[in-house]
Amino acid sequence: MGAPDIGRRCGLAHPVEGSAATTDALAGRATWAWSRSTSGIEPGLDRANDYTTAAVTAAKLIDLATPIEKAFLVAVDTGDEGGWTAEESLSELANLATTAGAEVVGAEWQNRRHVDPNWYVGKGKAAELAHARSETGFDLLVTDDELSPGQQKALESLLNVKVIDRSRLILDIFALHAQTHEGRLQVELAQLEYQLPRLTRLWTHLSRTGGGIGTRGPGESQLETDRRIIRTRIAKMKERVEQVRQQRATAARGRDRRLIPTVGIVGYTNAGKSTLLNALVGSEVARTEDKLFATLDPTSRQVRLGDGQTAIVTDTVGFIHKLPHQLVDAFRATLEEVNRADVLIEVVDASDPHLREHRATVQTVLDELGAGDKPRLVAFNKADLVEAAAHDGDAPAPALAGSCLVSALTGYGLDTLRAEIAAILASLWVDVDVAVPYAAGELLARIRERGTVELEYGERDVRVHGRVAPSLAGELESAATRWAETLSDGTGGQQ
């Protein structure tokens, strides 16, 4: 078939045989020469200028961008949230939905003594949601509380849209922001544990895995197969997370041997924890964004506190109201950094009207981790939003009753924060007055470097008295006990 026939199939308006033209292609200029010989192409013939344009116009471009889901939020106010109203909780849920990439098109809440066991909201309110769908066109319903599998299925059947709860939304945000291998492992484990009791039978035609003689009987349903696969996957993921925990424990032992004090930064999500770490270090070491759960993986850096004292400061994942228990369990390997810390810095957004509720949430999670009673310094961050003087980073900032006002953005109060951390670490030190042999030279060197002590050199041993960190005091006591036993055996002169 010749060039004119090709032109007709491609939609050319004037496929003139023998014409010549040069066309502009999408990626640059290109000249197409069509020729027809005995086999159908002649030399020296160019096609019309509109060939490429017509072909591109005829083809429809495929949009690969993920469509933005329209989310509708719903909550039940039972009066048991301790300072949170349903409207305020929905406001936070809207921020979560926006962070996940959805467009919030509406919200409803209902006052009830307890959630409905079948519909979450009352049956009448559920019918109103169906009417709201026809008005707003939402394709995603997000509930403020965790749903049972039965509640989720009932709402999906009624509304014919995807239904998720607050826990699933937070898990999705964690999956979106997980950047490291460690973070992805822990997020996947949390997602699998969440999905296990919520599996539905999607493949009814595969209710039996085999057929024929020797395979008759109840067999294994697809749902049972899925559950078995997920349980196996969960077991493997737990093994990998345990390896992560052991690696972190090994790194922590290395820090303990160097006797560098550790400080953990904790707080509500988006309170400015990562920004504060960057300000203390003096460089951009942690990822900072004005969004919920921007940081999932802990970042540790050495920070100078003054007078030659240093500490390892670790930024950890933020907490939130109604944090899914699957996340706390899955991220326990990461959150163990909180347990290992000598001192905690609790970062609080001073400009948030719910700072009391935020602190209560943080305390609940810390209690669950077993770190609720650790020595703590409260840093009321974002002082520049509530205090005019905080716009000047060099202005003096007061400290009162284990707390201080800081602005990680302007630098206000950072010197006070460093001094308060150093004072708390020093208060944890203990008094020592022991004698150790000269053979403990390596221990004595670390004492001189990390403690505030005086050394008196005797004929056979060195007397140490002063203040040191608790871990260092334990090593001194052990060395002194062994030395005393050696002296009592009469072998003290043999070194």
Q: How far apart are CA 304 and CA 314, in angstroms?
A: 14
**pTM of the prediction?**
0.68
Strands in 343-349's sheet, in edge-to-edge order, are 299-306, 309-315, 262-267, 343-349, 376-381, 403-405, 399-400
Quote the pLDDT of residue 11: 35
Helix (H, G, I), strand (E, B), or coil: what is residue 76? strand
Q: Do 391 and 458 reside in the same domain of the chain? A: no
**Would you give the distance in Å from CA 19 to the centre of its chain?**
63
Q: What is the DSSP string of 455-487?
A: EEE-SSEEEEEEEE-HHHHHHHHHHHHHHHHHH
Same domain, 335 and 477: no
User: Domain with 305 in it: what CATH number?
Assistant: 3.40.50.300
CB-count burial class (<10 Å; 0-12, 13-18, 19+) for 312: buried
Q: Which of 378, 271, 275, 367 is closest to 328 using CA atoms?
A: 367
Burial class for 80, CB neighbours closer than 10 Å (0-12, 13-18, 19+): exposed
Give me the domain span that covers residue 33.
Answer: 3-58
The total number of structural domains in the chain stands at 4
- Point out the domain boundary residue: 140, 172, 204: 172
* Single-letter amino acid, residue 83: G
Q: Is residue 401 located within the same domain as residue 443? A: no
Radius of gyration over alpha carbons of the chain, in Å? 33
Amino acid symbol at 308:
G
Q: Are residues 379 and 472 in the same domain?
A: no
DSSP class of residue 147? P
Distance CA 250, CA 104 (A): 45
Alpha helix stretches (DSSP H) within 341-469: 355-369, 414-427, 441-450
Tell whether 109 and 167 lie within a shared domain: yes
How far apart are the C-alpha atoms of 248 and 265, rounded to whole Å? 17
Produce one character per residue of 257-293: b if its CB has 16 or more CB atoms within 10 Å, e if not. Answer: eebbbbbbbbbbbbbbbbbbbbbbbeeebbebeeebb
Q: Which long-range contacts (CB under 8 A, 24 or more apart) does 414-419 make?
A: 414/279, 414/280, 415/306, 417/280, 417/345, 417/377, 417/379, 418/280, 418/303, 418/304, 418/305, 418/306, 419/305, 419/306
pLDDT of residue 287: 54
Output DSSP code: residue 71.
Answer: E
Pairing state of beta strands 140-143 and 162-165? Answer: parallel
Asked whether residue 283 falls in the same domain as residue 354, the answer is: yes
Which of 172, 196, 215 finishes a domain? Answer: 172
Residue 69, CA distances (Å) to 98, 101, 146, 148, 161 in order:
10, 8, 20, 23, 11
Residue 181 lies in a domain: no
What tokens does 49 get? Answer: 């200028």
Beta bridge partners of 457: 462
Q: Look at residue 451 and tell me if it is in a domain.
A: yes
* The two structure tokens encoding residue 159: 């509304």
Block means of pLDDT (10 residues each) for the chain, 495 residues, are 37 38 36 36 45 50 73 86 78 88 88 87 88 88 88 88 89 80 81 79 44 49 77 86 78 64 88 87 63 68 78 84 76 74 90 88 87 89 86 79 88 89 85 88 79 84 85 83 83 50
Domain annotation covers residue 200: no
**With b meaning 16 or more CB within 10 Å and e meaning fewer, what string describes 356-381?**
ebbeebbeebbeebebeebebbbbbb
3-state secondary structure at position 405: strand
Both 280 and 312 in one domain: the answer is yes
| Tokens read off for 270 | 């988006």
Structural domain includes residue 367? yes
User: 276 and 421: one domain?
Assistant: yes
What's the Cα-to-Cα distance from 297 to each of 210, 221, 280, 317, rounded to whole Å? 45, 39, 18, 7
Is there a single domain that holds both residue 305 and residue 379? Answer: yes
What pLDDT is recorded for position 72?
Answer: 92
Report pLDDT for 378.
92
Residues 147 and 273 in one domain: no
**What is 3-54 written as a DSSP string?**
HHHHHHHHT-S---TT----EEETTEEE--EE---TTS--TTEEPPTTHHHH
Chosen domain end from 172, 196, 214: 172
Regarding whether 454 and 381 lie in a shared domain, the answer is no
Return all residues near 160 (Cβ < 8 A) that are at least 6 apart. none
Reduced to 3 states (helix: H, G, I; strand: E, B; else coil), residue 229 is helix
Same domain assignment for residues 165 and 270: no
Sort 124 into a burial class: Cβ within 10 Å, 0-12 / 13-18 / 19+: exposed
Residue 8 in domain: yes
Residues 346 and 388 sit within 8 Å (Cβ to Cβ): no
- Tell me, yes or no, whether 246 lies in a domain: no
Q: Would you give the DSSP letter of residue 342?
A: S
